[in-house]
């Protein structure tokens, strides 16, 4: 397993550099505008390295017998759908409708080949939501793909979130002897860390839609597989991804209620407000890492080991994350009004 991590890391480091050269040659450049959190033009699309290395690990896990064929088909097919539309969008603007259709196809494809959501562990009990659960799983996966894209707006933040989340669930995949899930998660971790060397502030290349959308998809698909394997219930993922989930969700709700074009590009997420108040991208990424490791990891650990309180702990995490969202936005409003 250690060799896989090392190979993934160095492969992604090299591949991201090559993609950067390609992006510059093809003018795949993010030009700063009024919605940007950056001040200089930066190439995009570097997340392709994460996609390619992770999907290669999926194939290898299938050939090694560590993943069942239907799991390989689910992950590889869905990952290709999301990665391809993201890569196309990084080259030229793709309509929101087309992106949504492809994301829905990827989610439906994945749920179908994984044979549905199945039983869902709430800690104190298990429920079988049936077809309604499958519908919710598709909606949740599509939202996760898009929210991860929304939250990839400052240097290093999306990579840090992926590394902190993946590192935690990796421990439970290993202890639960789910070697296939551990293998592909390890490959994602190595690739994302290699990419982060290029993306740390000041970023030399951005992840792009190809990388952010794929990471959102990957976490959604692996969360369902972890639930079905009994290794990491979906509620654990809600705890680990709480900062991303609630910032994106509450911001969307706020924009919708205020009558804004909620589907249009903007820079009103709490993490973006944090930077707009004068804090650096590096400091923001480190704060995300600290909160994940020092607060969300212990909560997730207790939830895994004291399952009767899992739902309560997930609700506490939601309240905590929502509280941070309100505090940051309130501080931003007061700073602007002073």
Q: How confident is the model at residue 206 (pLDDT cuts 50, 70, 90)?
A: very high
What's the number of domains the chain is made of? Answer: 2
Residue 96 covered by a domain: yes
Residue, of 172 and 55, whose pLDDT is higher: 55
70-120 per-position pLDDT tens digit: 999 999 999 999 999 999 999 988 898 999 999 999 999 999 999 999 888
Least confident stretch, 45-49, 111-115, 143-147, 327-331: 327-331
Instruction: Give the residue from 211, 234, 257 where a domain finishes.
Output: 234
Residue 241 covered by a domain: no
- The answer on 276 and 227 residing in a single domain is no
- The answer on 275 and 152 residing in a single domain is no
177-197 per-position pLDDT tens digit: 889 999 999 999 999 999 999
Task: Check: CB of residue 79 under 8 Å from CB of residue 51.
Answer: yes
214-239 per-position pLDDT tens digit: 999 999 999 999 999 888 899 999 99
294-328 per-position pLDDT tens digit: 999 999 999 998 888 999 999 999 999 999 999 99
- Mean pLDDT across the chain, nearest whole number? 92
Q: What is the largest CA-CA distance in the chain?
A: 62
* pLDDT given for residue 2 in this prediction: 75
Rounded-to-integer distance, Cα 100 and Cα 87, Å:
15
Residue 297 DSSP SS3: helix
- The answer on 328 and 212 residing in a single domain is no
Residue 251 covered by a domain: no
Residue 97 DSSP SS3: helix
- The answer on 148 and 11 residing in a single domain is yes
Residue, of 338 and 60, whose pLDDT is higher: 60
Instruction: Give the domain extent around 89.
Output: 2-28+40-234
- The answer on 296 and 230 residing in a single domain is no
Q: How confident is the model at residue 165 (pLDDT cuts 50, 70, 90)?
A: very high
- The answer on 196 and 59 residing in a single domain is yes
Rounded-to-integer distance, Cα 193 and Cα 9, Å:
6
* pLDDT given for residue 318 in this prediction: 96
Cis peptide before 42 (omega within 30 of 0): no
Query: Comparing C-alpha atoms, which of 223, 222, 215 is closest to residue 192?
Result: 215
Question: Does residue 290 have a pLDDT over 80?
Answer: yes
- The answer on 21 and 164 residing in a single domain is yes
* pLDDT given for residue 34 in this prediction: 59
* pLDDT given for residue 35 in this prediction: 64
- The answer on 211 and 296 residing in a single domain is no
- The answer on 45 and 152 residing in a single domain is yes
What are the tokens at 287?
């704060």
Instruction: Give the residue from 234, 253, 275 where a domain finishes.
Output: 234
- The answer on 316 and 230 residing in a single domain is no
Residue 101 covered by a domain: yes
The total of other beta-carbon atoms located within 10 Å of residue 299's CB is 18
CA distances from 164 to 224, 240, 315 (A): 19, 8, 20
Residue 255 covered by a domain: no
Residue 247 covered by a domain: no
What does the chain come to in residues? Answer: 338
- The answer on 153 and 211 residing in a single domain is yes
In DSSP notation, 102-140 reads HHHHHHHHHHHHTT----EE-SS-EE--HHHHHHHHHHH
Q: How confident is the model at residue 258 (pLDDT cuts 50, 70, 90)?
A: confident
Q: How confident is the model at residue 286 (pLDDT cuts 50, 70, 90)?
A: very high
Instruction: Work out the average pLDDT over 123-151.
Output: 92
- The answer on 74 and 11 residing in a single domain is yes
Question: Does residue 338 have a pLDDT over 60?
Answer: no
Residue 244 covered by a domain: no
Residue 254 covered by a domain: no
Instruction: Give the residue from 183, 216, 234 where a domain finishes.
Output: 234
């Amino acid at each position: 397993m250690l060799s896989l991590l090392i190979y993934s890391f160095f492969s992604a480091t090299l591949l991201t550099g090559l993609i950067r050269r390609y992006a510059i040659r093809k003018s795949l450049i993010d030009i700063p505008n009024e919605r940007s959190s950056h001040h200089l033009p930066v190439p995009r699309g570097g997340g392709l390295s994460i996609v390619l290395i992770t999907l290669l690990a999926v194939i290898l896990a299938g050939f090694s017998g560590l993943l069942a064929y239907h799991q390989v088909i689910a992950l590889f097919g869905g990952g290709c759908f999301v990665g391809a539309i993201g890569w196309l969008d990084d080259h030229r603007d793709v309509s929101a409708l087309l992106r949504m259709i492809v994301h829905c196809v990827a989610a439906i494809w994945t749920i179908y080949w994984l044979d549905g959501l199945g039983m869902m562990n709430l800690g104190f009990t298990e429920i079988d939501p049936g077809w309604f659960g499958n519908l919710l799983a598709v909606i949740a996966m599509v939202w996760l793909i898009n929210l991860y894209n929304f939250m990839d707006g400052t240097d290093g933040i999306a990579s840090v979130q992926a590394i902190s989340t993946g590192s935690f669930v990796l421990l439970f995949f290993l202890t639960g002897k789910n070697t296939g899930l551990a293998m592909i998660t390890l490959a994602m971790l190595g690739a994302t860390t290699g990419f982060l060397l290029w993306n740390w502030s000041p970023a030399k290349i951005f992840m792009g839609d190809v990388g952010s959308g794929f990471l959102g998809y990957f976490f959604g698909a692996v969360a369902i597989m972890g639930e079905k394997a009994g290794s990491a219930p979906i509620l654990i993922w809600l705890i680990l991804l709480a900062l991303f989930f609630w910032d994106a969700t509450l911001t969307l709700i706020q924009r919708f209620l205020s009558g804004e074009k909620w589907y249009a590009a903007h820079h009103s997420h709490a993490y973006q407000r944090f930077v707009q108040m004068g804090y650096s991208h590096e400091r923001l990424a480190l704060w995300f890492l600290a909160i994940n490791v020092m607060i969300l990891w212990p909560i997730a650990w207790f939830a895994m080991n004291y399952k009767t309180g899992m739902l309560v702990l997930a609700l506490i995490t939601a309240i905590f994350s929502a509280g941070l969202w309100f505090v940051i936005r309130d501080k931003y409003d007061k700073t602007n009004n002073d």
